[in-house]
Amino acid sequence: MRPFKGPNFSLILFFLIVHVFVLLPANGFHPLDPLTPSELNQVQTLIKKSHKDVTFHYVGLDEPDKPKVLSWLSRSQPPNFFQHRIAFAVVRTNSQTHEIKIDLSSNSILSDKVYDGDGYPMLNNEEQTAAGELPLKYPPFIASIEKRGLNLSEVLCEVFTIGWYGEKNTKRAVAVMCYYIDGTVNFYMRPIDGIMATVDLDKMKIIQYRDRLMIPVPKADGTDYRESKQDTHFDTRIKSMTISQPNGPSFTIDGSNVRWEDWVLHLSFDMRAGLIISLASIYDPEKNEYRRVMYRGFISELFVPYMDLTEEWYYRTFFDAGEYGLGLCAVPLVPLRDCPENAVSMDGYFISQDGAPGYIPNVFCIFERRAGDVMWRHTELGIPGQTVTEVRPETTLVVRMVSTVGNYDYIVDWEFKQTGIIKVTVGMTGLLEVRGSVYTHKDQIQEEVYGTILAENTIGAHHDHFLIFSLDLDVDGDANSFIKSNLKTSRVNGNISPRKSYWRTKVGNYVGYRLVPGSVARTLLSDDDYAQIRGAFTKYNVWVTLYNKTEKWAGGLYADQSRGDDNLATWSLRNRDIENKDIVLWYTVGFHHVPCQEDFPVMPMLTESFELRPTNFFEHNPRLIER
Ligand SMILES: *[C@@H]1O[C@H](CO)[C@@H](O)[C@H](O)[C@H]1NC(C)=O
Ligand SMILES: *[C@@H]1O[C@H](CO)[C@@H](O)[C@H](O)[C@H]1NC(C)=O
Ligand SMILES: [Cu+2]
């Protein structure tokens, strides 16, 4: 709730009440497991029985209440304690959004209510495909293509959500923008700019069309990134390397539970959030118990506002999780390229437009990383006649997912360290969104172009990426507090020291986990900008809220054309007491992206990370136990 201003901060969570839980789940079933294909089928059947014309937009686990999950984990419950598995579905029928809860155990609909607030659910893949095909059969568009001397068979169109700009009444509509393939696969570098169609998704019809400007389509030369189009010499100069674990990995996977070293955690896949880490706990050998660290962590939203004010661009303020689905956009990881050879993988399930389960193989990979780094070391040269050198190499556990949201590829790594550290790294690569332009050189540009000229007729638009993580840390239990600790310069008074200044902080030895932010970027938009009203969580990098099961999506449950009435910023206005309570930490990884020539035609990975570090949590370096 307060701005996080500079680098000299450390943020500490500490607990006041100790709960001791046994954290070893029973084999098989886990209450937080994602819905199985047969459960998804069950949802489809039940909903189709009660609604004739229905399209599916989201189906996922309606997770049980936290106390129930914890009490199940403590095993003080009978085996049938969790017989009620509940699914949550968002569907559209008769141009209305329905929220449906289904009891999978009794195979019945628990509730079915029409959502009458603002905003729309996630788009499904099939409606995006259908909308993208409409211009190709639309005579005015065909005429526009002919007028430009382009070949319609080489044209392809993509769907863009349109945001909200203060309209009272909205339709479920998207913008459709088209590209030219002709000689490349990198069509994103070949926009047919100046033309835009608006499609009503419920009617699946073009409701508005504008051919405003003739702008040259950037050429295909130099845009292709396929191996077959490259001088492969470049890629083969590195001699072969291998990673081998002849005795197999040191982790075990039981259902969705992973155990590695002293860590236990649960993984699940959600078509909106993608990868969800739950119930991460670490064994403390001295206390001889598992200690809770994080109840749940996931990417709650990914906000990408563009800074281009032209008619075909200004509305581009995407909510990639809430509009497109980070899980729905997840792609199968390529063995040996996306993940090392010692990786194992997991699959993910989602639902398609008609509710049938779809399958993403290799959606997560899990591997031990030994990248030649050091966990800790010391060389002691100070003892006469003796040199002591001790080095421990670092081995970590990585869980990875890649989500390709149209042009961009986001690589998300959750990395667990033997020292109790959780490190989260986000990598961005893929293709820029570029605008066609008459210019071929920067010296020709007179007016504001809202970006960088990357190649002839190609402007990479300025934009941001804000990934907000929901981090429900439960350090040694639910009751946690948050301390923002500022390092302050203190003047030395009197003659106690020749020094004139030093710094200090008020934090004591509270048991805690510390958020170590990466370089921080927050929004540069004005508060009254519609995009900012919707993405208000970008105003600060750190927020703390009281845990509330339904407050999951920092940009609102219905992010498409949302109006900012259900987001992290509005929830926090309730000013709930957060001291010694079950609290959730929200942290935004932000990038201001000023495209550069090297981002063309495909962007080298740009990464940012943060850490959650045990701080006075263990009695000492947890990697040393004296004999
Ligand atoms: C247009 O593209 C199609 C498909 O690539 C190709 O078969 C056709 O020959 C092209 N037409 C012209 C006039 O170049
Ligand atoms: C939980 O959050 C929702 C959405 O912000 C709110 O409507 C509800 O009142 C909250 N519940 C409690 C118990 O605060
Ligand atoms: Cu970018």
Residue boundaries of the structural domains of the chain = 2-22+263-366+404-615
Residue at token pair 């990881």 = 333
Ligand 1 environment, Cβ below 6 A: 151, 153-154
| Atom nearest to 182 CA in ligand 1 | 5
Query: Tell me, what's the pLDDT at 590?
Result: 96
Closest by Cα among 329, 500, 528, 511 to 409: 329
List, as one string, the DSSP characters of 549-613.
Answer: TT---TT-SS-BT--SSSSHHHHHTT----TTEEEEEEEEEEEEE---GGGSSSEEEEEEEEEEE
Distance 119 CA to ligand 1 centre (A): 41
Q: Which fold has domain 2-22+263-366+404-615?
A: Beta-galactosidase; Chain A, domain 5 (2.70.98)
- CA separation for the pair 164, 555 (Å, rounded): 13
Distance 72 CA to ligand 2 centre (A): 24
| Atom nearest to 566 CA in ligand 2 | 5
Question: What are the CA-CA distances from residue 190 to residues 195, 275, 460 (Å)?
Answer: 13, 32, 12
The β-bridge partners of 581 are: 480
Q: How many CB atoms lie within 10 A of CB 569?
A: 21
Question: Which of 148, 154, 181 gets mutated to test ligand 1 (max ligand atoms within 8 A of its CB)?
Answer: 154
Query: Tell me, what's the pLDDT at 626?
Result: 85
| Atom nearest to 576 CA in ligand 2 | 14
Question: Which of 65, 543, 548, 582 gets mutated to test ligand 2 (max ligand atoms within 8 A of its CB)?
Answer: 548
Q: Is 16 left (phi over 0), alpha (psi -120 to 50) or beta?
A: alpha
pLDDT in tens, 491-508: 999 899 999 999 988 777
- CA separation for the pair 583, 296 (Å, rounded): 11
Q: How many CB atoms lie within 10 A of CB 114?
A: 10
Q: How many helices (H) and strands (E) does the chain have?
A: 7, 33
Question: Which of 99, 472, 547, 550 gets mutated to test ligand 2 (max ligand atoms within 8 A of its CB)?
Answer: 550
Closest by Cα among 11, 1, 3 to 506: 11
Measured in whole angstroms, the distance separating CA 61 from the mean position of its chain's CA atoms is: 18
Nearest CA to ligand 2 atom 10: 548
Query: Tell me, what's the pLDDT at 28?
Result: 64
Spans in the chain with pLDDT lower than 70: 1-28, 76, 79-80
Q: Which ligand is nearest to the CA of 592?
A: 3
Told to judge if 587 belongs to the known catalytic residues of this protein, a careful annotator would answer no
pLDDT in tens, 232-251: 777 778 888 899 999 999 99
List, as one string, the DSSP characters of 50-106.
Answer: H-SS-EEEEEEE-PPPHHHHHHHHTT-S-GGGG---EEEEEEEETTEEEEEEEETTT
Options 188, 408, 450, 513, the catalytic residue: 408
Query: Tell me, what's the pLDDT at 16?
Result: 33
Query: Tell me, what's the pLDDT at 139?
Result: 98
Query: Tell me, what's the pLDDT at 11?
Result: 42
C-beta separation of 539 from 588 below 8 A:
no
Told to judge if 306 belongs to the known catalytic residues of this protein, a careful annotator would answer no
The three-class DSSP label of residue 390 is strand
Closest by Cα among 259, 256, 328 to 63: 256
Distance 192 CA to ligand 1 centre (A): 17
Ligand 2 environment, Cβ below 6 A: 548, 550-551, 571
